[in-house]
Amino acid sequence: MTTFVDRVELHIAAGNGGHGCASVHREKFKPLGGPDGGNGGRGGDVVLVVEQDVTTLLDYHHRPHRTATNGKPGAGDHRDGAHGKDLVLEVPDGTVVTDRRGNVLADMVGQGTTFVAGGGGRGGLGNAALASPRRKAPGFALLGEPGEARDLVLELKTVADVALVGYPSAGKSSLISVLSAAKPKIADYPFTTLVPNLGVVTAGSSVYTVADVPGLIPGASQGKGLGLEFLRHVERCSVLVHVLDCATLESDRDPLSDLDIIEAELAEYGGLSDRPRLVVLNKIDIPDGKDLAEMVRPDLQARGYRIHEVSAVSREGLKELSFTLAGLVDESRAAKPKQESTRVVIRPKAVDDSGFTVTEEADSLYRVRGEKPERWVRQTDFNNDEAVGYLADRLNRLGVEAELVKAGAREGDGVAIGPEDNAVVFDFEPAMATGAEMLGRRGEDHRMDISRPAAQRRRDREASRAEQDPDAEYEAFDPFG
């Protein structure tokens, strides 16, 4: 049964916001006590948090679909809906979060590091919050926004100071078991180690971590063996240690050719040329291994490598090796730039930024894109005429109609608000009257009626007054009358 997973595809969905409530307060002797609809609750976020006790992504391999709770809808008597509960997902230290295209969204290193992977939807406003001096009793409320849904890829890259690399059965697992308290599986056949092993080593006052990277063979960088699956675990290490088998039973192998092959695979993978190298000649407790180590040592020194001859069985040379690694790790840590406190970056909006864009597309269609217009459309109940009229008011105040006219839109042209796969399309009607004076009964807006009888009645009254007294209109605007 699989116990270690270092790459998963995670499907998350944040909670939806609760709908606002359209309600009118009613009690004895107060049949119309004013709007009292509460706001909807915010949907829960999906948050990734680094937890040191978590070492694998196995849980998300078995359950890749995760959803936060929705916000509750508002109610009458000014009762707001409850907020949805955030969904906190614990991930191992060193997890890289990317989208399906490979774009890095977060590199999560360090205990407690958090990343909001999906934001919950806003709750809709109730009609009590929408009331104004001009619209005293709104007959509608705003809908809650849907939560953010996305597909993520989680990759685990081991956070260790030293990486042990080499052929299968070179003795990497045995070495890490005697250098630290780690207890990896050890056997006399290749590919015994199927997952990276971590161990903590103490050398004097230095404490560092060692990772055993399994399964490197020729072609590992191209997917052969297990190398491609685990080469990512080498990326964060500060020091690379080549563990060379000096007692191999394969006649076509020797420490120098093994080193050249592993270095070629690391170069093919890329990004590791700047790491300091150390060569460990292992299994010198065997007479033939000791002789072979002495034979290849001059050639390795000529290449500029630091060399340690060790035995995981007799533990010869392990103390010197641990202190040498500690020195290299300390040098690497000292060379890293000091971490500065997080700076607050303020990016003010440009003075000419309207917050939306209007682009002309084929077939007399104009598309409006922007955070506010798209959010307002998602919050609108299109089964309620008054809510649609309120949307028209908001768009006009933002300047959308003026920008459409400037772009060349004419009456009857199509206007789409939002992306192509989720847009609301309607016919453009320029110079539409706006304001609460156009409202009739709650839930109605006469601007949605093509005949617009209220406007026609107003024109008829003005025409009748003009016939009865031609000077009436002039006198009405005479400041000295």
Question: What is residue 450's predicted lDDT score, i.e. its pLDDT?
Answer: 47
Beta strands 197-203 and 95-98: pairing type?
Answer: unpaired
Reported as a pLDDT band with limits 50, 70 and 90, residue 174 is confident
pLDDT at 297 over 70: yes
Alpha carbon 212 to chain centroid distance?
30
Q: Under 8 Å CB-to-CB from 478, ≥6 apart: which residues?
A: none
Q: Give the pair of three-digit tokens for residue 225.
A: 């063996």
pLDDT in tens, 318-329: 899 899 999 998
Mean per-residue pLDDT of the chain:
81
Exposure of 364 by Cβ count < 10 A (0-12 exposed, 13-18 middle, 19+ buried)? middle
Contact 154, 64 (CB under 8 A): no
Rounded to 10 deg, the angle between the 318-335 and 172-179 helix axes is: 80
The stretch 284-294 carries a mean pLDDT of 86
Contact 93, 52 (CB under 8 A): yes
Closest to 447 in 3D by CA, of 373, 380, 388: 388
Reported as a pLDDT band with limits 50, 70 and 90, residue 2 is very low
Question: What is residue 480's predicted lDDT score, i.e. its pLDDT?
Answer: 35
pLDDT in tens, 176-224: 888 887 665 544 434 444 567 778 888 888 888 888 877 565 554 454 5
Contact 408, 365 (CB under 8 A): no
Residues β-bridged to residue 331:
none
Contact 98, 153 (CB under 8 A): yes
The number of beta carbons lying within 10 Å of the beta carbon of residue 29 is 5
Q: Distance between CA 424 and CA 426 in Å, rounded?
A: 7
pLDDT at 432 over 80: no
**Strand (E) or helix (H) holding 13:** strand 7-13
3-class SS at 352?
coil
Torsion angles phi and psi, residue 318, rounded to 5: -75, -40
To 5 degrees, how large is the angle CA 133–CA 137–CA 142?
100
Beta strands 414-417 and 365-369: pairing type?
Answer: parallel
Amino acid at 64: P
pLDDT at 229 over 70: no
Strands (E), 323-376: 357-361, 365-369
pLDDT in tens, 81-136: 999 999 999 998 889 999 988 899 998 888 889 999 999 999 999 999 999 888 88
Let me know how long the chain is: 481
Q: pTM score, two decimals?
A: 0.71
Mean pLDDT check: name the lowest of 47-51, 209-213, 364-368, 464-468.
Answer: 464-468
Q: Give the pair of three-digit tokens for residue 274.
A: 């700047």
